[in-house]
Structures are given as structure tokens and as C-alpha cells.
Amino acid sequence: MPRDSVKSPEEKLAIVLEGLKEETNIAELCRRHGISQTIYYRWRDKFLEGGKTALVSNGAPTGTEAEKAKIAELERVIGQQAVEIQVLKKNLKLR
């Protein structure tokens, strides 16, 4: 049986959504896609948890996303300052 890492995120999403339909038999769905039921239920749980997180945060960036954005901004500022320092040092040497 193929490992779950073989499936793309889009394939995983399609399988989970198909499984969430009430008329779908999970055992048959898993056989058709060559995955175990354990893998299906792991994907489903991750999918549902992601939806829950999005609803709780009302679409606002999560803490980690906000932190990553802040880090990127600080790195940009540090880069600008490093360039300014280099220019100032060159100007001092020319005098």
C-alpha cells in the first residue's frame, strides 16, 4: 500500500471531501485510493482541525503567521541598516 506522503495535498483533500459525503463507504474509498483507513482518518482529523482553527481565528493570521511576518519585516529593516552602515563607512574612508 502506498505511503501517505505519495499523495499530493490536493489528492488528500479530494479523498477527505469524498469521505465526508454521507453516501461514501470509507473502507471502499480507501481501497480505491490505495490507503489505509487509519491514514484516511488522520487526514480527515487534520482537515477538520485546520477548519476549526480558521473559524476560531476568524481568518486572522495565526500567531505563527504573524510572528513570521514580523521576523521578515525586522530582517528587511536590518538589511537596510547594514547597507546604510556600509555606505557611511565608505564615506568616512574617502575623507
Please state the domain extents for the chain: 1-60, 61-95
Predicted confidence (pLDDT) at residue 67 exceeds the cutoff of 50: yes
Q: Is the pTM of this model over 0.75?
A: no
Q: Residue 34: how many CA atoms within 13 Å on its side-chain side?
A: 8
- Specify whether the CB–CB gap between 34 and 4 falls below 8 A: no
pLDDT at 1 over 50: no
What pLDDT shows up at residue 60?
64
Residues 75-79, mean pLDDT to the nearest whole number: 94
pLDDT confidence of residue 95: 72
Write down the pLDDT at residue 88: 92
